[in-house]
Amino acid sequence: MNKTPEKSQIKNLPIGIFDSGVGGLTVYRALHNRLPNEHFIYLGDTARVPYGTKSLATVERYAIENSQFLASHGIKMLVVACNTASALALPKIREKIGLDVVGVIGPGARKAVAVTSPNSKIAVIATEATVQSDAYRVSIKEASETAEVIQTACPLFVSLAEENWAKEPETFSIAKKYLDKIIEFQPEALVLGCTHYPILREVIQQTVGARVKLIDSGEACAEEVAQLLDWKELANPHKVAGERRLCDDLDHFYVTDAAERFARVAERFLGAKPAKLEAVELDELKKD
């Protein structure tokens, strides 16, 4: 009979993170920077990306499989870095794995409300699937009934981020076209509702103007994870010796396909390739 781990043992366990692909690396970066004593296991479901074109049932199934894979590796908490899975699958994930689960949509919405004035105007940019889910609008309204919300899909931003076209003239032109309605709306805050978008932060900020507060949902998520760890008394008490680096050998990365491409994009996003990167078949979990 397996014994329930002592809290002192649980504190030493890693935090699990999953995304449909590489975008969640910006959430990993935010968590890593905010919580340098923690270790992380990251799963990028690169074989089945994108999730945004899939049905609710399919997204739920993928999200549960990802979550169970990470849970099988012994984690103390799960971060759903995928906006689509955060919008559609959090209740099912919580039901299946019995761990604390933090998504990116709720924290991003709450942060936007927290840094703006009452009756504020808040804009959200995201993928088409996330905009259609209306999850950000609902979460913002839960935090502030008086907030006025506008949402715009910016699908090309994903490819531009992965190609590292952060300073190309074409990227500024595309941003201007996507963000025209938001500029006209004159929001107080703009939520970056896709994990790829922080890579284009400078372009977006210059396009909408310096007075608009940009909300990185990954950073907001990291804040809430830190608060939850403190509240549950699950923070790792052991300080990592020396300087903690992104993608070091304390963190383990898994992908379901295209490991070499993942490593290249990770280097563009984070400035380093994962020291531990492994391709896995999630079907293996079902055979256990």
**Catalytic annotation, residues:** 82, 194
Token pair, residue 172, equals 């500024």
Q: Using CA atoms, how far apart are residues 65 and 84, in angstroms rounded to an integer?
A: 15
Q: Using CA atoms, how far apart are residues 63 and 89, in angstroms rounded to an integer?
A: 7
**Cβ neighbours of residue 190 closer than 8 Å, sequence gap 6 or more:** 122, 123, 124, 125, 182, 204, 208, 212, 213, 214, 215
The residue with tokens 């942060």 is 111
Q: Using CA atoms, how far apart are residues 176 and 203, in angstroms rounded to an integer?
A: 9
Altogether, the residues listed in the chain come to a count of: 288
Cα angle value 30/51/217 (rounded, 5°): 25
Token pair, residue 269, equals 């996003």
Decide if 113 contacts 187 (C-beta within 8 A): no
**Cβ neighbours of residue 19 closer than 8 Å, sequence gap 6 or more:** 25, 27, 42, 43, 44, 45, 81, 82, 195
